[in-house]
Amino acid sequence: MTIAFACVLFMGLLPYVAAGIAKKGFEGYDNGQPRIWLAKQTGFRARANAAQANLFESLPFFFAAVIIASVMHAPQARIDLLALGFVIARIAYLICYIANWPTTRSIVWLCGIACVVAIFFQI
């Protein structure tokens, strides 16, 4: 498994980390209607839930970039490096979202997107 493919696996699981943070402690959690419960949350729980949604939204673009670059035999070392950059940016993004640092969050979001675009430019 390449580093980039490991990053794909990791990124596929990261939104579930955000979901776990949103449900931390399960105080009053309603497993029968989890989306309604999450929609009523505020503070870090609401931000973690929003981060979860955004993490899921970013996956298709990243997955496509890694797969297409791999199929087109782009330089693997560059794909790996840029995929790691994306993962680091998305972890930082999750931290910034939960910590309520919107400006920093936007900057690391941009860094993550730049990594994905750069993967496409390796083709």
pLDDT at 25: 75
Number of domains in the chain: 1
User: Would you give per-residue pLDDT tens digits along the chain (123 residues)?
Assistant: 999 999 999 999 999 999 999 988 777 788 888 888 888 889 999 999 999 999 999 999 999 999 999 999 999 999 999 999 999 999 999 999 999 999 999 999 999 999 999 999 998
The pLDDT value recorded for residue 35 is: 87
Q: The CATH number of the domain where 48 resides is what?
A: 1.20.120.550
Torsion of CA 73, 11, 113, 117, to 10 degrees: 10
* Contact partners, residue 98, CB within 8 Å, separation at least 6: 21, 44, 47, 48, 51
Q: Which domain holds residue 53?
A: 3-120
